[in-house]
């Protein structure tokens, strides 16, 4: 049995699935979703983009919500034969269930690994005036587009949803950590960390002393800048990435 007792903060459905996976490995956890997904109202831009997908040499999908909402829009059109890409296996699985040709990194659960995929390079190299579509949430980070544009590609973003902080009572986060005797915090994105910080309020100095598991160097830097004292970069947001980090950093060693 692991000594870890973790606070999980993903959206509710993903949080429950992660808790079940961890429990099978003897890791105790408590779910307190700090992100809720709200689909954006359908727009003319969304309809025209999916009607003209053949303009693109590749579609990059950054998350499972983007995949699910994107598939709903795609269902109204004949899907052209083009490659789809995702950062992680879970998002790829959502797309593959609909028979799409999907590629994702076997190692490295981040944007850098996706950009290194040979299939993406091939899709770009074999297309005149290549254009890439990125399906994401509202206000997502610009890293992917910046890197692709630096290679001379045209890149279009299509926001499909927004992430919001669910309603909690003031002080509820700190009370939960104390009542459940939690000794580690897990966030899956930069916005998830922002919501953690916002909800922590006056309890943040105490929570900042707990080990914080994050998905990337970018979020690790964000957390350290905010005062988090022990930050573990899992190099990915998947359950497997978190489990590997927990094995590498047992609770007694931190």
What CATH number belongs to 38-163? 3.40.50.10090
pLDDT average, residue stretch 35-61: 94
User: Domain segments of the chain: what residues?
Assistant: 5-35+168-253, 38-163
**What confidence tens digit (pLDDT) does each residue in 187-214 have?**
998 999 999 999 999 999 999 999 999 9
Q: State residue 176's pLDDT score.
A: 97
Question: Residue 90 has what pLDDT?
Answer: 86
Model's pTM, two decimal places? 0.82
> Is pLDDT of 252 > 70?
no
d(CA 103, CA 89): 9
What's the rounded Cα separation, in Å, for the pair 80 and 50?
A: 10
Q: According to the model, what pLDDT value does residue 88 have? A: 83
Q: Between 190-200 and 217-225, two packed helices, what is the crossing angle to 10 degrees?
A: 20
**How many C-beta neighbours within 10 Å does residue 162 have?**
15
Q: What is the pLDDT of residue 87?
A: 85
Same CATH topology for 5-35+168-253 and 38-163? Answer: yes
Higher pLDDT, 201 or 79: 201
Residue 253 has pLDDT above 60, yes or no: no
User: Mean pLDDT over all residues of the chain?
Assistant: 92
| pLDDT in the model for residue 237 | 84
Distances 234 to 13, 78, 205, 219 between C-alpha atoms, Å: 21, 39, 23, 10
Lowest mean pLDDT among 41-50, 102-111, 176-185, 234-243: 102-111
pLDDT of 107 reads 73
Summarize the confidence of residues 117-134 as an average pLDDT.
Answer: 93
Name the nearest CA neighbour of 218 among 231, 200, 207: 231
CA 26 to chain centroid? 24
Question: Is pLDDT above 90 for 235?
Answer: no
Q: For 131-181, write each residue's pLDDT tens digit.
A: 999 999 987 778 888 999 998 899 999 999 999 999 999 999 999 999 999
- Bridge-based pairing of strands 36-39 and 231-233 is unpaired
Topology adopted by domain 5-35+168-253: Rossmann fold (3.40.50)
Q: 135 with 112: CB under 8 angstroms?
A: no
Q: Which residues contact 246 (CB under 8 A, 6 or more apart)?
A: 2, 4, 27, 213
Task: Kindly tell me if the per-residue pLDDT of 52 is higher than 80.
Answer: yes
* Residue 134: strand pairing partners: 60, 157
Q: Is the pLDDT of residue 254 over 60?
A: no
């Amino acid at each position: 049995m692991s000594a870890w007792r973790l606070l999980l903060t993903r959206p509710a459905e993903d949080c429950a699935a992660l808790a079940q996976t961890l429990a099978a490995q003897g890791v105790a956890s408590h779910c307190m979703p700090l992100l809720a997904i709200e689909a954006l109202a359908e727009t003319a831009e969304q309809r025209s983009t999916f009607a003209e997908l053949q303009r693109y040499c590749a579609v990059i999908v950054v998350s499972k919500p983007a995949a699910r909402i994107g598939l709903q829009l795609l269902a109204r059109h004949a899907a052209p034969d083009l490659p789809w890409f995702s950062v992680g296996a879970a998002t790829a699985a959502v797309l593959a269930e609909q028979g799409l040709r999907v590629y994702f990194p076997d190692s490295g659960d981040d944007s850098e690994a996706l950009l290194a995929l040979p299939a993406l390079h091939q899709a770009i190299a074999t297309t005149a005036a290549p254009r890439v579509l990125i399906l994401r949430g509202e206000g997502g980070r610009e890293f992917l587009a910046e890197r692709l544009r630096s290679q001379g590609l045209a890149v279009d973003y299509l926001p499909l949803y927004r992430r919001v902080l669910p309603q909690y009572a003031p002080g509820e986060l700190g009370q939960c950590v104390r009542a459940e005797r939690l000794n580690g915090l897990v966030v899956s994105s930069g916005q998830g960390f922002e919501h953690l910080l916002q909800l922590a309020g006056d309890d943040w100095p105490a929570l900042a002393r707990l080990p914080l598991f994050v998905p990337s160097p970018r979020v690790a830097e964000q957390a350290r800048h905010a005062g988090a004292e022990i930050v573990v970069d899992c190099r990915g947001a998947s359950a497997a990435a978190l489990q590997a980090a927990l094995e590498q950093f047992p609770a007694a060693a931190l």
